[in-house]
Amino acid sequence: MYKRFNLFILLQAVFLLNGCAQATDRTLSPPSDTEWVDVQIKNPSPYTKPFPLEVLYVSATCKRELMSMRDGQHYEKMGYNPVKIPLQKHNDSDIWVAKIAKDGGGKCNWKLSEFNLGIEYVDATHLGKGLVPGTAVGATIAFDDNATKNGLFKTVHGDITLSPKYYPYIRVRKLNSTETSLSLLGEQNFISLRGDATTKVSFIPSLDETKVTRYIGVEKKEPGAHAKIIYPDGSVASEGTIIPDFNKINAK
């Protein structure tokens, strides 16, 4: 299965390589008066499942010590604490829920910076023999300047409700791999929002499996060789296209 390759995973790798990071107390102890973010995800299919929330807490108390690759000087940056929070299925429904403390407390005074939520295929063979689950889709919800410094986040005031539409996307890789994966394709694979006074995030996606888009990779890297994207209506994207046109798939 293709894993989500994002900041959360990169941070875990950094902590494993950084011996100093191991000394930081990452224990969370939310105070009794903390605000909470209620997260609700509606699973759209028996073949998909919400992945555990990927939560990032930051600390101005327990900072990271880094070294400049340019001159070897040491400097400090905000401390990071990535945490995975599992969602729980609500009764016998297709709703999954979790809670995130805005103030993580602890000796380092951890504060919520951002979190990822979303869904991914966990069963792919219903759409083709030999298919394996591919990449996930969802949203990144940010709460501070540290998370939104790249300028890609749109601010939303109050509670957040997202209802994106997804379609199946089959990728046939022929170069250095024979794996064929089934992913979810949306207008945006990950929506980036900054929450202002947000205490509830609802993610209610829909999935239409009647329209399947296929990507056929090249067998060799050579002049004139291009991957092929085949839309549900049988039409082929122009040469050099690397991302399917969501509007074309979504058109009735």
DSSP string, the chain: -PPP-SHHHHHHHHHHH-GGGGGS----B--TT--EEEEEEE---TTEEEPPEEEEEEEEEEEEEEE-TTT--EEEEEEEEEEEE--EE-TTSSEEEEEEESEEETTTTEEEEEEEEEEEES--GGGSTT-EE---EEEEEE-STTTTTTS-PEEEES-EEE--EEEEEEEE--SS---EEEEEEESSSEEEEEEES--EEEE--EE-TTS-EEEE--SS--TT---EEE-TTS-BPPTT--S--HHHHH--
pLDDT value at position 155?
95
Q: From first to last of the 252 residues of the chain, give the pLDDT tens digit.
A: 333 445 554 555 454 444 444 567 889 999 999 999 999 999 999 999 999 999 999 999 998 777 767 766 766 788 999 999 999 999 989 999 999 999 999 999 999 999 999 999 999 999 999 899 999 999 999 999 988 888 889 999 999 999 999 999 999 987 676 789 999 999 999 999 999 999 999 999 999 999 999 999 887 777 767 889 999 999 999 988 889 999 999 997
pLDDT value at position 19?
44
Read off the pTM.
0.86
pLDDT value at position 242?
87
pLDDT value at position 146?
83
pLDDT value at position 25?
86
CB count in 10 Å sphere of residue 186: 21
